Amino acid sequence: MMSLFRLPAHLAALLMLALTPSAAFAQTAQGDDPITNALRWMQNILLGPVATSLAVMAVAGVGFMMLTGRMNWRYGGTVIVGVFIIFGAPRLVASISGL
């Protein structure tokens, strides 16, 4: 049980904590926090020029292997559909979320 002398001190401390501004309550500008920057960097890697060149090489390799008869058509189609999904991901998410 809390003594009568400690209750006002605890209430005063709680009131001071609630009324003082804190860095935790401060809002940063949108897109300025490290997590958003890291996710934006990852998106640029996954959808940028590096990914584009890798996708071109993958599709060209699949096409060449299909042309020479060394690859299953279903597996080749899966690779090509996967490339479409990767590069269509921003548009797919925007259409699903209604943006």
Residue 71 within a domain:
yes
Domain count of the fold of the chain: 1
Residue 28 within a domain:
no
pTM: 0.54
Q: Which residue has the higher pLDDT, 57 or 99?
A: 57
Residue 90 within a domain:
yes
pLDDT in tens, 48-60: 888 899 899 999 9
Q: Residue 66: which pLDDT band, with cuts at 50, 70 and 90?
A: confident
* Residue 13 predicted with pLDDT over 70: no
* Residue 74 predicted with pLDDT over 80: yes
The pLDDT value recorded for residue 61 is 92
* Residue 1 predicted with pLDDT over 60: no
Distance CA 2, CA 8 (A): 11
Residue 6 within a domain:
no
* Token duo for residue 83: 């490339």
DSSP letter (8 states) at residue 20 = S
